């Protein structure tokens, strides 16, 4: 067994372990970390397959940017494990199972085709272009130029749509520091409100802070989360 086979079996096992850890993890943050672990091992496989550009892209773009962005969003917003069990769209689990099986069949067919054919390595495939990066550039900007441009337009549209959905119009002028201090002195809460999640289970914005007696402080939540928490408490009282 040569060195390439040893690296393959080690990184392949680690990648499968990362994928299984992503599936069986109960917390979304742990799942994101397992996915990042699996992607790093896939990058090592790309290096062994003489594809340095794809390996670097796998680490910098997917592991270093996309997955870390997901991880930071999950840590800031917070996702309860019970929310993932609610099926908002009817039949989505059946469709997910179908597409998962179809994707698995596609992967098996691709692997079977590569095993049946003789593999000459990327050096032979990139011999006419001068290297791996030049070969990828030739395919992207010649054969797959239309698909590349359509994908770029789709990503830009998704980014603009996210900005439009997250934008909130301000109908009233922003209050000054003097106005905020006067409003605070006119109420019973003179001190600043506690941050969401202070001394609670986690520091997500939808988790209320705990008062010294251990009761949750709904005043520490934003208005939209405060209404959701009150509705949840009311539903629990009705069911009990």
Per-position DSSP letters for 160-205, written without gaps between them: HHHHHHH-----SPPPPHHHHHHHHHTSS--SPPPPTTTTSSS--T
Give me the chain's average pLDDT, please.
77
In degrees rounded to 5, what are phi and psi of residue 217? -105, 105
Beta bridge partners of 217: 209
CATH 1.20.120.1200 region(s) of the chain? 1-81
Q: Is the dihedral of CA 109, 111, 112, 118 positive or negative?
A: positive
* CB-based contact 136:53 (threshold 8 Å): yes
Residue 131, classed as helix, strand or coil, is coil
| Number of alpha carbons in the 13 Å side-chain half-sphere of residue 207 | 15
pTM score of the predicted model? 0.51
86-126: per-residue pLDDT in tens?
A: 666 777 788 888 998 998 898 888 777 766 666 666 667 77
Better-scored residue on pLDDT, 81 or 198: 198
Q: Is the dihedral of CA 6, 8, 11, 17 positive or negative?
A: negative
pLDDT at 81: 47
CATH topology of domain 1-81: 1.20.120
Percent of the chain with pLDDT over 70: 74
Instruction: Categorize the per-residue pLDDT at 153 as very low, low, confident or very high, splitting at 50, 70 and 90.
Output: very high
- Rounded to 5 degrees, what angle do the CA atoms 151, 154, 156 make? 110
Using the predicted structure, report yes or no on whether residue 240 has a pLDDT greater than 60. Answer: no
């Amino acid at each position: 067994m040569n060195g390439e086979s040893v690296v393959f079996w080690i990184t392949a096992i680690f990648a499968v372990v990362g994928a299984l850890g992503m599936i069986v993890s109960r917390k979304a943050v742990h799942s994101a970390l397992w996915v990042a672990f699996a992607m790093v091992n896939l990058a090592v496989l790309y290096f062994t397959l003489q594809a340095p550009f794809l390996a670097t892209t796998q680490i910098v773009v997917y592991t270093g940017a996309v997955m870390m962005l997901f991880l930071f969003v999950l840590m800031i917003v917070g996702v309860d494990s019970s929310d993932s069990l609610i099926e908002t769209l009817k039949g989505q689990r059946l469709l997910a199972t179908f597409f998962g099986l179809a994707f698995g069949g596609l992967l098996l067919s691709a692997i079977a085709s590569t095993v049946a054919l003789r593999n000459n390595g990327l050096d032979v495939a990139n011999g006419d272009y001068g290297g791996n990066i030049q070969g990828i550039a030739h395919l992207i900007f010649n054969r797959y130029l239309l698909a590349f441009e359509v994908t770029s337009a789709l990503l830009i549209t998704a980014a603009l749509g996210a900005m439009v959905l997250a934008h909130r119009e301000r109908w009233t002028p922003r209050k000054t520091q003097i106005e905020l201090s006067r409003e605070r002195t006119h109420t019973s809460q003179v001190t600043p409100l506690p941050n969401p999640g202070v001394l609670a289970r986690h520091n997500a914005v939808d988790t209320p802070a705990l008062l010294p007696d251990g009761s949750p402080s709904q005043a520490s939540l934003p208005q939209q989360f405060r209404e959701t928490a009150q509705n949840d408490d009311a539903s629990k009282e009705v069911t009990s």
